Structure 1
Amino acid sequence: MIKSPLFFSPSLPFSKPRAKPLLSSFSAKSQMGPQTLLEFMSRPQSDSISIGDDLAILVTHLQSACKRISSVVSSPFGSEFGRSLAAGGDGPVSDSGRDKPKPLDLVSNDIILSSLRSSGKVAVMASEEDGEPVWLTDNGPFVVVTDPLDGSRNIDASIPTGTIFGIYSRLSELDHLPVEEKAQLNSLQRGTRLLAAGYVLYSSATILCISFGSGTHAFTLDHSTGEFVLTHPTIRIPPRGQIYSVNDARYFDWPDGLRQYIDTIRQGKGKFPKKYSARYICSLVADLHRTLMYGGVVMNPRDHLRLVYEANPLSFLVEHAGGRGSDGKTRILSIQPVKLHQRLPLFMGSSEDMHELESYDNIQQKVNPGYEV
């Protein structure tokens, strides 16, 4: 496993998370300044949802990992380090059909794995960078699925990247099974079973967006204190936006229904009588973050995005912000994964935009000419 000198250097400004933060020692709202993520987790999320110490410890370790990834990605040596290790690469896709890992993907994966192992709260971690789930400890109460560094091909161009994660309960009824089997089955849970999910956007600001099943909330990293502070409480995606996000260069490969939808909204002839604009970054976390803020739809109509690592966690966030996530026909969170790196079309966004989009019969792209980007 690749060890990044940027991550393992003792000069990094981030300290290790405390072994066991006790939520009861924090007030629900800081009286001295902005509310931190830990303070936020100390208060009940709703009448039926309360975050316990175990989950808070896990999220604290995850946020610490993402601070380190943010430091690596933004370092003046980060992209140079990635290029030096990538020399001799032979293409974007591995033999297993997964994206061929880039070195900074592997560094980010190692950072997250190390933090989850240190937490003592995770039984198994399933990562987009690994062929199989990694079993960490028999008594860990949680399962974590993650895409450690989404959009990493954009780093050299200083385009935003992100980390995506989802948290499930360990299925104790599987404990009697062999390690490989129970690791796999624990990782293939439906999105409806998620306890929490989130992403961290590495851009002009480092923003952690998370839901514990009651609202979606965003925290911005305050570099002066090293804390994520609440800046966007209870995000509500507008019921309808005026932006669509998709790679328009693939227009002639799309099915008739999707082309008809895009043509209609671009001309202002849809259910919303204004012309839509196109905004596309080619970084899923960044495109979704904008969609959460401004409304509209973000999509990839072909079988490309991963159900376990990307579609489920992000759809969980969108739903708890009042939006919808779909494969074009079916609610994402209701789909039962059948394999770890399962791919599917993904459409997410404002509820009214999504319902209009799904009213077109044929929006899933089944023809794939074999794009490399």
Structure 2
Amino acid sequence: MITTFLSTAQSFSYMLSTSTSLFHQFPTFPPKSQTLPSRTRLLQFYTPRMASISGFRVWSQIGQGDCSSSSSPGDNGFCSFMEYVGKRGLNVEDDLVILLYHIQYACKQIASLVASPFNYSLGKRSGLGSAAGSGSDRDSPKPLDIVSNEIILSSLQNSGKVAVMASEENDDPIWISDDGPYVVVTDPLDGSRNIDASIPTGTIFGIYKRLEELDNLPIEEKAMLNSLQSGTKLVAAGYVLYSSATILCTTFGSGTLAFTLDHSTGDFVLTKPSIKIPPRGQIYSVNDARYFDWPEGLRRYIDTVRQGKGKYPKKYSARYICSLVADLHRTLMYGGVAMNPRDHLRLVYEANPLSFIVEQAGGRGSDGKNRILSLQPVKLHQRLPLFLGSLEDMEELESYGNVQQKVNPGYEV
């Protein structure tokens, strides 16, 4: 263990001393198996194990538990993420199972990186400029963002199942393989500017099918067009929350569910087989410091619900973490609305995947006027206001009209 920490510290120190080639100096994390031709072989990685937690011996029945949607964890043992997608019969194709294996593997590496005592320096600003073209140093990538991006890219390349990856950290999509059946869009480490304060962060991803009708186009053109698909074409989406627990929340278009990382075994274990966001909550999540810059409709809505004078006759409370994944996860659990009324969040790799997850849990994703998934992206890093939450809360919010903040006086764009 000490040797591992020293090795990690030395690697981080070396990266920081050679920041101009940071992408290439960070060691990649190839999965245990680089070629996984079938579900049977994939699931061979998950054999029963015995773990000891606080003196109690816990039998993790990986490969033996019932992963049906009607069962709950503990009925017949635990169900791992890979067992669920490999055996559940969710119409998850073999290629997608393999891709998901590599994505969850990458997220485990990022979880370890975020929790490492050596990530303090990696959380500093790199001065490399913003790949997303934000025009703001506040949004400029940091080494931790970049390393996370490289971990995901490496895993997608190793999977052999991805044609193109579009990321917040890259100006343009990266073409990976001519015959990869899938397209992955991702925000590798959302909320990373708060990493020094140990505030929760997250990884967001969405998965599309490759548009085969574009195969004859030049690489740059087909990479971009594949990345600009409408959210209605998502085949899977998810986020991983790095907090007191590491939680993988995902959907394949038939409900939303969550898995929690068991550090004793290294498996994501099914903990919420069917997430249903309450039809109405009692929490709103937004940066109240910008209240006086909000449009009239949004101010009226917030004033009304926090006084208990809305359609739900209870006073709402404000809860704001300033980490999109964390604020959304709490909203999924308790209901209410998580929002950023400014043209700030990205449609392709933040709004679309998260709206897909919320809708599959019974909620709604909106830009304040329109359903997010109905919007057609026109630019890779296109920004828009984002409102996510309980169906009844969202309908009430939209009924006020004029909730999108189009000006930002006194603040960086």
Q: Is TM more than 0.5 here?
A: yes
**1:241 is matched with which residue?**
281
The match for 1:260 among 300, 304, 307 is: 300
Between 138-147 and 31-40, report the one with greater CA deviation: 31-40
> Aligned-residue CA RMSD in angstroms?
2.2
Look up the SS of the partner of 2:166 in the other structure: strand
**1:83-108 alpha-carbon deviations (Å, 9 max, x no partner):** 3xx36x39879755473111100000
The match for 1:70 among 105, 111, 126 is: 111
Q: Is the 8 A contact 2:132 2:381 kept in 1?
A: no
**1:133-185 alpha-carbon deviations (Å, 9 max, x no partner):** 00000000000000000000010000000000000000000000000000000
**1:20 is matched with which residue?**
36
For 2:84 and 2:128, the matched residues in 1 are separated by 46
Q: Is the 8 A contact 1:23 1:38 kept in 2?
A: no
**1:134 is matched with which residue?**
174
**2:188 is matched with which residue?**
148
Matched, 1:180 2:200: no
**1:216 is matched with which residue?**
256
Q: CA deviation at 1:22?
A: 3.0
Taking the TM superposition and a 5 Å limit, the aligned residue runs for 1:1-373 are 2-3=22-23, 8=27, 16-17=32-33, 19-20=35-36, 22-24=38-40, 30=65, 33-44=77-88, 49-83=90-124, 86=125, 89=127, 97=135, 99-369=139-409, 371-372=411-412
Q: Is the 8 A contact 1:29 1:39 kept in 2?
A: no
For 1:366 and 1:126, the matched residues in 2 are separated by 27
Q: CA deviation at 1:52?
A: 1.2
Q: 1:338 to 1:155 in 2, by over 3 A?
A: same
Identity of aligned residues (%): 71
- Runs of 5+ consecutive residues of structure 2 not aligned to the other structure: 1-20, 44-61, 67-75
Q: 1:120 to 1:248 in 2, by over 3 A?
A: same
For 1:353 and 1:82, the matched residues in 2 are separated by 36
Look up the SS of the partner of 1:42 in the other structure: helix
Q: CA deviation at 1:28?
A: 8.0
Q: CA deviation at 1:9?
A: 8.0
- Runs of 5+ consecutive residues of structure 1 not aligned to the other structure: none
TM-score (normalizing by structure 1): 0.92
**2:53 is matched with which residue?**
none
Q: 1:176 to 1:41 in 2, by over 3 A?
A: same
For 2:33 and 2:366, the matched residues in 1 are separated by 36
For 2:64 and 2:337, the matched residues in 1 are separated by 34
Residue type at the aligned position of 2:82: L
For 1:216 and 1:327, the matched residues in 2 are separated by 21
Look up the SS of the partner of 2:362 in the other structure: coil
Q: Is the 8 A contact 1:216 1:234 kept in 2?
A: yes
Q: CA deviation at 1:370?
A: 5.9
Q: Is the 8 A contact 1:239 1:350 kept in 2?
A: yes
Q: CA deviation at 1:281?
A: 0.1
TM-score (normalizing by structure 2): 0.83
Aligned residues: 363
Q: 1:147 to 1:94 in 2, by over 3 A?
A: closer
Residue type at the aligned position of 1:225: T
**1:224-271 alpha-carbon deviations (Å, 9 max, x no partner):** 000000001110000000000000000000000000000000000000
Look up the SS of the partner of 2:151 in the other structure: helix
Look up the SS of the partner of 1:8 in the other structure: coil
For 2:108 and 2:27, the matched residues in 1 are separated by 13
Residue type at the aligned position of 1:265: V
**2:71 is matched with which residue?**
none
For 1:70 and 1:331, the matched residues in 2 are separated by 32
Q: Is the 8 A contact 2:166 2:173 kept in 1?
A: yes
